[in-house]
Structure 1
Amino acid sequence: MKHEVDVHVGKRIRHRRWMLGTTQQQLAEAVGIKFQQIQKYETGMNRVSASRLWDISKVLDVPVAFFFEGIDLEEQDNHKGTPGDLLSDKEALDLLRSYYAIPENQRRRLFDLARVLSDAA
């Protein structure tokens, strides 16, 4: 049975990997495991050991704490019956990656536009 923490950590691994444009195969090779193991980590099917999480954090260039960020908020959201995690939505991840590929000054203007449009909706 999947544990909520393992599922959350897996989602965070997938999120960061997508943000960097890294494939499961590339991450697996960098860590020294098979890509199927990355798949199992990302779904929460297999628990990531502390040493493996350390290795993954180095390859993905984030602190280990990154993988646990938002876990309390996710639990609260699940109890409220809110929509699923946006990080599991491929379109949302593509949009986020594209957003951060825009130069900062243009990105700020786009953000301001999006805020105005969402306030008007």
Structure 2
Amino acid sequence: MGRPDFEDLQVYKLSEKLGNEIWKIVLRWDNFPKDTIGKQIIRAADSIGANIAEGRGRYNFQDNKRFVKIARGSMNETIHWMRLAYRRNLLTNEQVNILKPIIEELSPKLNAYLNSIGNGND
């Protein structure tokens, strides 16, 4: 069995980077925030890449698009949890400055990837 091709997608690599950065941040939180917002933000961020991978494995354009739309929803959920974490003083400005450029790059790439599916560009 060869290496899965989703690992070569730039959009997947960015989603993995976002999830890993959030993981490193949440690990440092106290138990209550880690157990509440921390678990939610990690699940949401990790779901972005998981849905890209699952959709890519479907080998059906409609299913792939559906999973990329779910990934896009998970990205919005991640942003929601990031906003709450920042407002509750769990994320520092420095941490936001690490995460924000990843989100700003990932969002249009997710949309571009979604638009490319079924056009021979995926």
What TM-score comes out, normalization by structure 1 length?
0.36
Larger Rg: 1
More helix by share: 2
